[in-house]
């Protein structure tokens, strides 16, 4: 098998990395992005002068030759690293493994985690920041050629870094569950619990690659043409690099790092805030139904008396739900030095992580019942909400509160145990 390398200037990898990795088979079945980046997929790569130093005198034709090489390089990267569906289908896992760069030695899952967080992901962030450092319109041909040369060298580095990350992420994917299968008890798997690793591949393939890097590659290639630094003129489809895409990509890389390095409480609290805005909106709706304002012109039809009475009954329940969610959030339970792991298994962690979303769904159901003055289901929604809190409270008391360290200034455990007991 041969590697599918980008048509960029070869670059010696750092001594720290080169001894650990070798390229794997990279046959691609993904969509062809090369024509979008301005290169026919069957046109041979041209490497003329890519390794030669920039001459003292540079004219526009030299810049365009380098611009063409840079565009080809981005086309190759787009083709090789097009996103692969995040499924457990064996063929997709195999394709992902084939379009990656494997280490020359077998690493344990823990070692893959360490390499990702300590080296590969921070390295990718540094490289992403450098991608848009393109020649400016006012640059001299010599300066423009220098910047294009750096971009071509950066493409080789990106190819290596992305390929290594994809291999490590693939290696960390939890094994597929059998149909109707139940996840194993992984309460003592520490950093390798399914709860932590199951979303890592999707964040990389869609958050970092599809929504980030591929758009950056296409945008930079388009910008090179729009600035007339390529032999081919810009097309009507070319657009300058979208503002904010770099920060979006960096944020998704940080999310991967946090997924691997954050404590289980950190990851849970990230999920707890996801339904907060919807919950606040539903509480505001209930308040307006419970205490409708008198419109002087009468343009807005007031709710029925029965709806108003139901809203006044539902509003305290919704507000108490918000108080609970605020208490378990990062603002309400800001704990320093919380251990990375608890003894919860992934099934229990997932149950707890869905709390905010399910609370928001139940409150939204109550709002719907109030608007329709439907008394038949609103009591059922309240009962389901109470049961949901009871399950979560049991997990919090059993696994999280005992791990909260006391400080010299404040007895945290006593405080939280007392609060949740009431």
- Do 83 and 209 fall within a single domain? yes
Burial of 178 (0-12, 13-18, 19+ CB in 10 A): exposed
Q: What is the pLDDT of residues 209-262, one digit of tens each?
A: 999 999 999 999 999 998 899 988 888 787 888 889 999 999 999 999 999 999
Per-residue pLDDT, 394? 95
CA 99 to chain centre: 20
Q: What CATH number is attached to the domain comprising 274?
A: 1.20.120
Average pLDDT over residues 309-329: 92
- Do 26 and 153 fall within a single domain? yes
Among 8-12, 61-65, 92-96, 382-386, which stretch is predicted with the lowest mean pLDDT? 8-12
- Do 169 and 29 fall within a single domain? yes
- Do 297 and 364 fall within a single domain? yes
Phi-psi region of 194 (alpha: psi -120 to 50; beta: other; left: phi over 0): alpha
Task: Look at residue 166 and tell me if it is in a domain.
Answer: yes
- Do 104 and 212 fall within a single domain? yes
- Do 239 and 333 fall within a single domain? no
- Answer positive or negative: Cα dihedral of 95, 97, 98, 99: positive
Say how many domains are in the chain.
Answer: 2
- Do 220 and 109 fall within a single domain? yes
Look up the domain containing 290 and give its range.
266-421
Task: Look at residue 5 and tell me if it is in a domain.
Answer: no
- Do 281 and 400 fall within a single domain? yes
- Do 250 and 283 fall within a single domain? no
Listing DSSP states for 4-70 in one string gives ---SS---PPPHHHHTTEEE------S---TTTTT--TTSPP--TTSSSPPPSS--HHHHHHHHHHH
Domain end residue (candidates: 218, 240, 261): 261
Q: What mean pLDDT, rounded, does the chain reach?
A: 83
Res. 321: pLDDT tops 50: yes
Helix residue ranges, H only, 304-374: 305-328, 346-353, 355-371
Domain end residue (candidates: 245, 261, 277): 261
Domain end residue (candidates: 261, 278, 304): 261
Task: Look at residue 332 and tell me if it is in a domain.
Answer: yes
Task: Look at residue 2 and tell me if it is in a domain.
Answer: no
Average pLDDT over residues 306-314: 91
pLDDT bracket for residue 105 (50, 70, 90): confident
């Amino acid at each position: 098998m041969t590697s599918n390398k980008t048509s960029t200037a070869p670059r010696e990898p750092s001594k720290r990395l080169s001894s650990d990795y070798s390229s794997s088979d990279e046959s691609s079945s993904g969509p062809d992005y090369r024509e979008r980046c301005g290169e026919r997929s069957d046109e041979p790569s041209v490497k003329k002068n890519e390794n030669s130093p920039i001459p003292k005198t540079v004219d526009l034709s030299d810049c365009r030759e380098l611009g063409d090489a840079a565009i080809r390089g981005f086309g190759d990267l787009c083709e090789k690293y097009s996103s692969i569906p995040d499924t457990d289908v064996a063929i997709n896992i195999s394709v992902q493994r084939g379009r990656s760069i494997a280490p020359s030695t077998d690493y344990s899952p823990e070692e893959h985690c360490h390499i990702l967080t300590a080296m590969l992901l921070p390295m990718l962030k540094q490289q992403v920041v450098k991608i848009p450092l393109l020649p400016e319109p006012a640059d001299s041909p010599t300066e423009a050629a220098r910047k294009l040369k750096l971009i071509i060298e950066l493409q080789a580095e990106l190819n290596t870094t992305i390929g290594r990350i994809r291999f490590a992420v693939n290696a960390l994917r939890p094994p597929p569950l059998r149909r109707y299968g139940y996840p194993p008890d992984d309460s003592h798997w520490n950093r390798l619990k399914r709860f932590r690793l199951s979303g890592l591949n999707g964040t990389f393939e869609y958050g970092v690659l599809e929504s980030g890097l591929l758009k950056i590659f296409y945008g930079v290639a388009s910008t090179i043409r729009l600035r007339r630094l390529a032999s081919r003129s810009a097309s009507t489809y070319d657009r300058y690099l979208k503002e904010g895409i770099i920060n979006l990509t960096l944020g998704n890389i940080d999310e991967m790092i946090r997924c691997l390095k954050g404590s289980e409480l950190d990851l849970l609290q990230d999920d707890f805030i996801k339904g907060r805005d919807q919950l606040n909106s539903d509480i505001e709706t209930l308040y307006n139904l419970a205490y409708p304002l008198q419109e002087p012109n009468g343009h807005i039809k007031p709710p029925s008396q029965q709806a108003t009475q139901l809203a006044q009954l539902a509003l305290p329940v919704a507000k108490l739900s918000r108080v609970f969610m605020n208490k378990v959030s990062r603002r309400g339970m800001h704990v320093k030095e919380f251990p990375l792991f608890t003894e919860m298994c992934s099934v229990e962690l997932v149950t707890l992580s869905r709390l905010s979303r399910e609370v928001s769904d139940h409150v939204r159901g109550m709002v719907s019942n109030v608007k329709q003055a439907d008394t038949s289901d609103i009591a059922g929604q309240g009962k389901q909400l109470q049961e949901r809190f009871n399950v979560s409270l049991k997990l919090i008391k059993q696994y999280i509160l005992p791990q909260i360290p006391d400080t010299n200034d404040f007895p945290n455990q006593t405080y939280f145990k007392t609060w949740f007991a009431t």
